[in-house]
Amino acid sequence: VTLHHSSGHAPVYVEAGLLPRLPALAAHHLPRRKLAVIADDRVARVITIPLDVPILTFPAGEASKNRATWSQLTDQLIALGFGRDSAIVAIGGGVTGDLAGFVAATYLRGVPVLQVPTSLLAMIDASVGGKTAVDTASGKNMVGAYHQPVAVVIDPLLLQSLSEADFRSGLAEAVKHGALLDGAHFSWLSSLVPPILARDPKTMEALIRRSVALKAAIVERDETETGCRVLLNAGHTIAHALEAVTDYTLSHGEAVSIGLVVETALGERLGITTRQSATLVGDLLKQFGLPTTIPRSVSMDRLIELMRSDKKNRAGAVRVALMARIGEPAGNDERGWTTEVGERDLRATAEAYRGT
């Protein structure tokens, strides 16, 4: 069942129908440990958790990913008398993975965590790489730690109950992985739109395996985020600004979808990306029901201002991870992984991708 196990990071199990084997996997990876499950209230209601251990819950949603919830969860562990021989099983979307991972990273200076991602975004993105965090009033993921899970257990059957919006949101990251890192995967996605949208278990199993392998390969090469890991930020410079400017009425996946198309078009304009790439990327995203244009209501000045203040950019210059062609990043070790873009090019490209 193990799909990916190499030095430096946790084994990732991906198999449709795997959840019932969670007790055996937990016993194997967390031997003799006292377990607590952390899940949001929605996941705890929808998914039958096959472990006979305390289940600590919190209200579903990003608003719970904060230090207050972290306090409540750690207080509950203390009240349960959990000691250094304990471990956390995080079952849920990216919010749960980040929050429960941060609880595990900090409880008694760190106890092991096993991640059971249940949203598509968590399966292909958040559960790989060991980042954990909570949000603060001044921004997302402001307080956190790196804490690698002992294992990641993914059951694509769990996607059946995920909302349509959350499912499509996750697909934006899958397209990102293909577009930047693997042309064959991009073509594979394009050829299997109907079974993907139907969440066919075997198709989703293959999609998740490939995305996990692509992300894991990058994270392994660059665990500390000084080099090629910025490639995973493709589409996200514009996406983060779009999320902020729309007051988070655009979901992360929708913003990433628009960001991917506009950043690809920017690459074409700069002569870095082969022509028609933005059209190809946009066509696939549209087939997945994702938006590819910037809403009319968005102020271009504000959008650009937000991009310049993105914490990933140095000194007000906007830098983006571009592709040379579908499946191949433009940046490399010698040239740097990202390209600095001027405000005029940014503005002209963004204007060309205004919605109606």
Ligand X SMILES: NC(=O)c1ccc[n+]([C@@H]2O[C@H](COP(=O)([O-])OP(=O)(O)OC[C@H]3O[C@@H](n4cnc5c(N)ncnc54)[C@H](O)[C@@H]3O)[C@@H](O)[C@H]2O)c1
Catalytic machinery residues: 109, 131, 173, 215, 225, 229, 233, 236, 240, 252
Tell me if 292 sits within 8 A of 257, measured CB to CB: yes
Distance CA 252, CA 264 (A): 18
Say which amino acid occupies 266: L
Of 61, 139, 316, 342, which lies in the binding site for ligand X, with binding defined by CB under 6 A?
61
Distance CA 235, CA 281 (A): 11
- CB 156 → ligand X: shortest distance, Å? 10
Interaction mask 128-167, ligand X, x per CB under 6 A: -x-x--------xx----------------x--xx---x-
- CB 159 → ligand X: shortest distance, Å? 6
- CB 223 → ligand X: shortest distance, Å? 12
Nearer to ligand X, 65 or 177 (CB): 65
The interface region with ligand X, picked from 60-68, 189-197, 288-296, 315-323 by CB under 6 A, is 60-68
Of 3, 60, 153, 216, which lies in the binding site for ligand X, with binding defined by CB under 6 A?
60
Under the binding rule (CB under 6 A), the answer on residue 73 touching ligand X is: no
Tell me if 325 sits within 8 A of 275, measured CB to CB: no
Under the binding rule (CB under 6 A), the answer on residue 65 touching ligand X is: yes
Under the binding rule (CB under 6 A), the answer on residue 103 touching ligand X is: no
Of 3, 11, 82, 93, which lies in the binding site for ligand X, with binding defined by CB under 6 A?
93
Where b means 16+ CB within 10 Å and e means fewer, 63-102 reads ebbbeebbeebbebbeeeebeeebbbbbbbbbbbbbbbbb
Nearer to ligand X, 219 or 346 (CB): 219
Distance CA 181, CA 53 (A): 40
- CB 343 → ligand X: shortest distance, Å? 28
Where b means 16+ CB within 10 Å and e means fewer, 157-166 reads ebbeebeeeb
Helices 183-191, 277-287: inter-axial angle, 10-degree rounding: 40
- CB 163 → ligand X: shortest distance, Å? 6
Nearer to ligand X, 62 or 220 (CB): 62
Under the binding rule (CB under 6 A), the answer on residue 46 touching ligand X is: yes
322: its two tokens: 């571009």
Of 11, 92, 291, 331, which lies in the binding site for ligand X, with binding defined by CB under 6 A?
92
- CB 15 → ligand X: shortest distance, Å? 16
Neighbour tally for 187: CB within 10 Å: 15
Residues within window 227-246 making contact with ligand X, judged by CB under 6 A = none
Under the binding rule (CB under 6 A), the answer on residue 113 touching ligand X is: no
* DSSP track, 69-117: HHHHHHHHHHHTT--TTEEEEEEESHHHHHHHHHHHHHGGG---EEEEE
In this structure, the chain runs to a length of: 356
Sort residue 302 into left (φ over 0), alpha (ψ -120 to 50) or beta.
Answer: alpha
For ligand X, how many residues bind (rule: CB under 6 A)?
A: 28
Of 4, 42, 209, 210, which lies in the binding site for ligand X, with binding defined by CB under 6 A?
42
Torsion angles phi and psi, residue 158, rounded to 5: -65, -20
Of 57, 69, 96, 237, which lies in the binding site for ligand X, with binding defined by CB under 6 A?
96
Under the binding rule (CB under 6 A), the answer on residue 62 touching ligand X is: yes
Of 126, 171, 234, 320, which lies in the binding site for ligand X, with binding defined by CB under 6 A?
126
Torsion angles phi and psi, residue 263, rounded to 5: -70, -35
Under the binding rule (CB under 6 A), the answer on residue 55 touching ligand X is: no
Under the binding rule (CB under 6 A), the answer on residue 119 touching ligand X is: yes
29: its two tokens: 């990876």
Residues contributing to the site for ligand X (CB under 6 A): 40, 42-43, 46, 60-62, 65, 92-96, 98, 118-119, 121-122, 125-126, 129, 131, 140-141, 158, 161-162, 166
